[in-house]
A and B are shown apart, each in its own frame.
Chain A
Amino acid sequence: MRPILAIASTTVGEAIRRKVLLIILLIGVLFIVVAPGLGILSARSETTVLKSFMLGVTQGVSAIIAVILTVYMIPNEIERRTIYTILSKPVQRWQFLVGKYLGAVLSLLLMMSMMSAVMCLMFFLQQQSKNVSEIADLMKGPMMYFVQMCLLAAVAIFFSTFVAPLVNFFLTVGVFLVGVFFNPLFQSLQDNQNTVPFVKIMAKAVNTILPNFANYNIQNPLINSNPSIQNEGRYFLGITVYGVVYIGILLILGILIFDRREV
């Protein structure tokens, strides 16, 4: 366990020192800070616009950070040959990979926490809301986005064990977009009576096999207050377990590939 934690903490340090990540984070925070000014876009829905924008920025910036942070993680170690000094010590390859992944997750946690804190502060200032439950409700979004980003990071780590960073970038972004947008599309296909049965089966198969990032897009009822949500806790638990299981699958596959790779 100790090697994993050591690699993870080193990874966090590296992430914090990467200027490009810090700039992206800063841009995200700036967007959240100016968000209250966008209330003018809607006469009676200032809160809706505010929540929509802040959650959108948090998710978008987190996704960019997650991808940029992880696609270069393993290839950089190999390219700079620092991996030799690590693997020459009593550190297994799987420990290296898991450590790197944990480091990425911790970095994401740190950066997303910062954005979420600013988001809460701006929401509080704009709404003058002393209602803690309203802010707690809003925080459900970033919490679920965090699990989503962990899954995204796992996808990127998995691909980084066997493809070049640029290819990895497009692969990861592609999987993310498909995972985000496939749920509504799948639902549309299911509902459309004209859809050919074969297409329905294929859609169901893809929906079952690929990581489903849309599960974590829970912002709709948060933005447009919906009092009729049932079994919310169970759903959150379900998608968290789903995320953890899928991350496990991706890490195991990554380890199997990385174990066989010549470095």
Chain B
Amino acid sequence: MKRKTSPILLVVLALAFICQGLLQRFEIFDHWVKVYNPGKGKLYTNAMSPDQLLAVLAGFREITAGILWVKADTFFDQGNYDAILPLIRLVTLLDPNEIDVYATGMWHIGYNFTDEEQRSDRRYIPSALALGKEGTRQNPDTYELFFEEGWLWYHKIDDDYSNAVDWFKKARDKPDMLPARKNLLGMAYQRSGEVDKSVDTYYRLYEDAVEKYKKESAFGNHQNRDTLESNLDNMLVREVQRGYVAGKENRPLTSYDVNPPFDVGFSVKATVVEPNVIRFEGTWNVLPVGTRIRVVLRDLNYPHAKPAEMEWDCSDNVNLDPPRDQTFMQEQLFVRNRRFNKKVDMSKDPTMYPFTSDNYVMEFYYNPRSAPPHLQDKFSWSGEGLTDKNYLNTDVRKGQRVIFASLPITRDMIKRYGQWVDKTPVVKTPNYAESAPDAGRADDDVVLKIPSLRAGSTGGK
């Protein structure tokens, strides 16, 4: 005999089914995605999605990530840097909360890919920044990756300091930010040319440090308070010394170091001494040591190129395969005795300097914001005390007076092909004077000798 199913039971069953569906759809799913989803509901990458990996690794993501990271550490020790890149990517996908992996990964990508002469491969920097940005989105509650991102701008890119300010501000606002690290915001403001904000920041931090030391007289608190006091003192003196205060009050700058602006007399000659080896020689009439002139040699049409740099923050995607057929060499030319002379050998690293295009450009750039304080005392934060009758530029960095020169060069010249097999290619600025042994010294009388904290004692003429 066939049993009949109770209609009430069927109704209960149907209602229960609808009930579970409604619960799942309207109560549970969105909350789960927001809070409990391992990727926190957002995939910030075009690479393999975390759930695909999850399907394989079940509940052991963090363990697997840990094992892979230990393996990456071994590769670090062996100097096998290329092998580390995919591991970094895999570990951060497996466990997006591995802050150390993000931080180390950024550092590794940004700093460790170098040529035989320890010049880092700048083509990777957008990837390093992108990895850091991904890390901040995955770990928005802690200061660390915001700070690391700011540090990469501040220290490695060493230009466009407003970006460092933005990231340090975000880091400062996190509750776990270390007090001593907050000081860097003041420094970043200063390098960004925002002097008032720098002073304000130091004042606020100093007051906090004094309060903290009153509450707890630990050595660290004492040290932090003293450091801030010193930073603040220096800043206040420099504000006056560099004529910043006078400028704000529309007073004449006659007795300040930045006035009159000093002509640095920049000139340069680039000689291709061997295939892929270029010697840069030139003049810079600043006697004290500490000047570093940036030289960039890049494809004329390098993607996202800007004067003497590139659009570093050009991508949100971590691309571990930078444009390998393009060249972007960046080096510092150190000035000694008013001259610089450096041989840049790009012959041993064809993957970093492929030179596949026909045309290249050499850019020379000096920015007083990256200068050491004793030189800034003359040039000030935004180059108020700096000039050059040929190469002063106020366009390539808004609101700043920098030195910028650009010279073309071809692939045939760099590689010594065609007519350059027997003839040494030389590219130079028109003002470069060839007269040994002081070649290039246009005017020996115009030398910046002793910058000093005392107003009116800059040497100069």
Contacts and interface: CB of A to CB of B under 8 A. Distances in A.
A248 B63 CA distance: 36
B31 A207 contact: no
A77 interface: no
Interface residues of A, number: 59
A177 to B, nearest CB: 8
Contacts, number: 141
Contacts of B61: 52
A181 B59 contact: no
Interface stretch (B16-24, B74-82, B283-291): B16-24
B417 interface: no
Contacts of A214: 32
12 contacts: A38-B63, A43-B100, A45-B66, A52-B60, A56-B63, A60-B59, A177-B55, A187-B33, A212-B28, A223-B97, A235-B32, A249-B16
A181 B55 contact: yes
Interface of A: 38, 40-45, 48-49, 52-53, 55-56, 59-60, 177, 180-181, 183-188, 191, 204, 207-209, 212, 214-215, 217-221, 223-224, 226-231, 235, 238-239, 241-242, 245-246, 248-249, 252-253, 256, 259-260
Given A220-B36, A226-B35, A188 B20 contact: no
Interface of B: 2-3, 5, 9, 12-13, 16-17, 19-21, 23-25, 27-29, 31-33, 35-43, 49-51, 54-55, 58-63, 66-67, 69-70, 97-98, 100, 141
Given A218-B36, A226-B141, A238-B23, A187 B41 contact: yes
B59 A249 contact: no
A56 B58 contact: yes
B62 A48 contact: yes
B63 A221 contact: no
A236 B39 CA distance: 20
A215 B33 CA distance: 9
6 closest A-B pairs (Cβ-Cβ)? A41-B66, A184-B51, A56-B59, A52-B62, A224-B97, A42-B66
Nearest to B51: A184
A241 B28 CA distance: 11
A209 B21 contact: yes
B27 A238 contact: yes
A159 B172 CA distance: 56
Given A56-B58, A207-B24, A242-B28, A49 B63 contact: yes
Nearest to A180: B58
B90 to A, nearest CB: 15
Contacts of B60: 52-53, 56
B59 A219 contact: yes
